[in-house]
Structure 1
Amino acid sequence: MLAVVVLLAFLVPPPGPVTIDVESLSGSGCPAGSATVAMSGDNQAFTVTYSDFLVQGNGGEAKKSCTIALRITHAAGYTFGIAATDHRGFAHLAEGVKGTQRSSYRFPGFPTRHSTHVYQGPMSDNWQVTDTPDVTQHGPCKDRKPLTVEAELKVAGKGSASFMTMDSTDSSVSTTFRIAWKKCAE
């Protein structure tokens, strides 16, 4: 019974509206105006959509990244962590070419969570991965800090026609961050 109560505490978002704002956006994978962020209607997730996040192989190694600092505003007495992250994209990799998708997120002063996924050519298809970090790490309760998310794509190997994108050919949302809410101790 106690496990059910603890689980429900992670599933219930704070009362009232939850908003998300981009404090800063930088990197070669997200030129100005090419990344948007939106909170879901149930306040259980937010999405990051990239419209120009493509890395083209150049016969050696090429990479692009995007760093976004986000301010999530919600009712006092709650904090959140990332329960799971769904990443999507498309890869066209020649024989012997390796594509890498790396992501991280952090609150200032807290450990950074990393994930890396590697794809080996030949490949010409959508890719999708779900990362499920340790959900026990939440942001601070009193001194709210921005959440920083970073994504990187890298293509390495001989094959100048190889590329990777951080979206998919069917134009689906590229990255969804599912939120684990927590009520702060009084």
Structure 2
Amino acid sequence: MFTVVALLAASLVPPPGPVTITVESVAGSGCPANTATVAMSPDNEAFTVTYSDFLVQGNGSEAKKSCTIALRINHAAGYTYGIAATDYRGFAHLTDKAKGVVRNDYHFPGFPTRHSSRTFQAPMSDNWHVTDTPDGVAHGPCKDRKPLTVETELKVTGKGGGSFMTMDSTDSSVSTTYRLSWKKCAE
């Protein structure tokens, strides 16, 4: 029993040395040029995406915006990672039976896509927070490292003319945090 626990704990430790993140592409109506930033945490156990202009306004009909980011996490050989949990934060002002939806997908090319979605109902005028924890972590490949693609969408539906939903803030304190699960590759 002790050996199994020790092996599991060892597999969750980040790789030695620096871990950096490179943004390969950013596209979408929710993240115009220079409005999304990505940063690795100092402990190498998470990265954040901070949006400065991700807002969708309903105006009495369905409206949506999305942002797709492809990134490469650079780390020591012999390790791989997956997304263990994702924290989303923002603000919603929903009136007159409007609904707001935040959806997030992430995947490595050739691997299954993880989908999550959360719906908020009117009346609402408050900050929102969602934590998505998958049933199991899908780690990326060990040898042929592929970029991780994350796509986030905000949607507002219904007749609430002044309804809106956002993932931005004036002080850049609202961000999406992707917590990583590291795994040592088999030799």
TM-score range, shorter chain: over 0.9
Q: Which runs of 5+ in 1 are unaligned?
A: none
Q: Is 1:78 aligned to residue 85 of structure 2?
A: no
Sequence identity of aligned pairs in percent? Answer: 77
TM-score, normalised relative to structure 1:
0.96
Whole-angstrom CA distance in 1 between matches of 2:171 and 2:36: 17
Q: 1:160 Cα shift?
A: 1.8
Q: Is 1:94 aligned to residue 76 of structure 2?
A: no
Q: 1:3 Cα shift?
A: 4.3
**Is 1:48–1:173's contact at 8 Å kept on the other side of the alignment?**
no
Q: 1:170 Cα shift?
A: 6.8
Q: Which runs of 5+ in 2 are unaligned?
A: none
Aligned to 1:126: 127
**Is 1:126–1:169's contact at 8 Å kept on the other side of the alignment?**
no
**Is 1:83–1:134's contact at 8 Å kept on the other side of the alignment?**
no
Q: 1:57 Cα shift?
A: 0.7
Relative to structure 1, is the Cα distance of residues 109 and 15 closer, same or farther in structure 2, using a 3 angstrom cutoff?
Answer: same
**Is 2:51–2:172's contact at 8 Å kept on the other side of the alignment?**
no
Aligned length: 186
Per-residue Cα deviation, 1:54-109 (whole angstroms, up to 9, x for no partner): 00012110000000000110000000000100000000000300000000100000
Aligned to 2:13: 12
Relative to structure 1, is the Cα distance of residues 170 and 90 closer, same or farther in structure 2, using a 3 angstrom cutoff?
Answer: farther
Aligned residue type for 1:51 = S
Whole-angstrom CA distance in 1 between matches of 2:31 and 2:137: 30
Per-residue Cα deviation, 1:127-183 (whole angstroms, up to 9, x for no partner): 001001134410000000000000000000002210000135774231000000000
Aligned to 2:37: 36
Aligned residue type for 1:7 = L
Q: CA RMSD in A?
A: 1.4
Per-residue Cα deviation, 1:27-70 (whole angstroms, up to 9, x for no partner): 00000100000000010000000000000012110000000000
Please give the residue correspondences for 1:14-163 in structure 2 after superposition, counting only pairs within 5 Å. Answer: 14-163=15-164
**Is 1:90–1:165's contact at 8 Å kept on the other side of the alignment?**
yes
